[in-house]
Amino acid sequence: MQLPTSPLLSVVVAVYNGEAFLDQFFSCLVAQNIDSMEVIIVNDGSTDGSMGIVEKWREQLPQMQVLEQENQGVSAARNTGLAVATGQYLSFPDIDDYFKPGMYQRLLDMALENTLDVVTCNGNYVWENDKKPSRPIFPLDKLQSTGVMTGPAWLKQALDSRKFLHVTWLNLYRHDFIRQHNFHFEPGLRHQDIPWTTEVLLTAERVQYTSEQFYDYYIHSASVSHKPDTDDTLIRSARHYMKILQMLDAINQRYPEKVSRIPACHWQIAKEGLGIIHTFDNMKDEQKKAMIIREFFERGIWKLIWKSAKSPRLRWRLGRRYFRLKRYI
């Protein structure tokens, strides 16, 4: 009796109230025209008509399974899908984006030919109603196609470009590699792709990047990350980034030898730290601002950012903010 072979690709998809985007998303999946592909839909507590649309597409995607869970966020949904995935390679697309026919086949061909742990392509930023002209996610003059290289070498090159975006949806990951290191997404954390990508690349041995632009990242008003901020959403964002900085620091300490050759691993902590301080600047309620700034110092985040700022320019940018922040304590 012949044992069933595992699919080449598992596509793990978190769905939460995505009825406006799912038809386009499934059209993109079907257009990939890959027979050996399982699709794992994780319904993260949707309350709209998302599941009706999913059912409508079942016939065209026979290797699709649907998992249900209470709303826990995209990280938990990805972990749920990852736990049951059987494919040789994994992908984690967002449902509100567009990916072009041939994307997964091209990345699979590269991955299988070179036994890659991670394979990455380029994409475009696309604005709703053409508010801005679209542009490449990785500028073509800053990051060009590579041969096979180690993960740390690619991470250094990518971070040194100062134009690198930590995302999962431009990548395929070798499943055995992810399983071997027991990688998972941090539950309840927004922008969890930052620590995920950093640690995955620090451990990967074989990585390759193609500057071909297969993926359109859609910037629109319905996206949680692009809605207007209030003081409360700014506080939540600051807390998420404080957690991210602590995770990045822990990662740096786990891989000291590799990180010693990638100064930008420290730079990214200082850069994201400046982003947190910028968040404080945008808050209107002085009491709330004082509360979150106190938390920022009490959690040791300022000390971590200052320690990570190795260049005189970064230290100068931080130093001029220090006394303005201290006024609130």
- In sequence order, what are the residues at sequence separation of 6 or more whose Cβ sits closer than 8 angstroms to the Cβ of residue 92? 12, 13, 14, 78, 168, 169, 171
Q: What is the pLDDT of residue 224?
A: 52
Confidence of residue 29 (pLDDT cuts 50, 70, 90): very high
Residue 36 lies in a domain: yes
Q: What is the pLDDT of residue 225?
A: 53
User: Could you tell me if 313 and 247 lie in one domain?
Assistant: yes
Of the chain, the percentage scoring pLDDT greater than 70 comes to 97
Distance CA 226, CA 209 (A): 28
User: Could you tell me if 198 and 77 lie in one domain?
Assistant: yes
User: Could you tell me if 214 and 250 lie in one domain?
Assistant: no
Whether residue 4 has pLDDT greater than 70: no
- In sequence order, what are the residues at sequence separation of 6 or more whose Cβ sits closer than 8 angstroms to the Cβ of residue 7? 36, 37, 38, 63, 86, 87, 88
The whole-model pTM stands at 0.94
User: Could you tell me if 13 and 152 lie in one domain?
Assistant: yes
How confident is the prediction for the chain on average, in pLDDT? 95
Q: Which of 225, 243, 265 is the last residue of a domain?
A: 225
Which amino acid is located at 31 in the chain?
A
Q: What is the pLDDT of residue 222?
A: 67
User: Could you tell me if 108 and 153 lie in one domain?
Assistant: yes
The domain of 25 spans: 9-225
Residue 3 lies in a domain: no
Q: What is the pLDDT of residue 260?
A: 97
Confidence of residue 209 (pLDDT cuts 50, 70, 90): very high
Residue 307 lies in a domain: yes
The tens digit of pLDDT for each residue in 270-321 reads 999 999 999 999 999 999 999 999 999 999 999 999 999 999 999 999 999 9
Pick the closest to residue 296 from 234, 230, 227, 225 (CA basis): 234
- How close are the terminal C-alpha atoms of the chain, in Å? 72
Q: Which of 225, 254, 276 is the last residue of a domain?
A: 225
Domain holding 173: CATH number?
Answer: 3.90.550.10
Which amino acid is located at 136 in the chain?
P
Query: What does DSSP assign to residue 7?
Result: P
Q: Which of 166, 198, 225 is the last residue of a domain?
A: 225
Q: If you average pLDDT over residues 81-85, what whole number do you get?
A: 98
User: Could you tell me if 307 and 217 lie in one domain?
Assistant: no
Distance CA 116, CA 150 (A): 10
Q: How many domains does the chain have?
A: 2
Compare 221 and 103 and report the one with higher pLDDT. 103
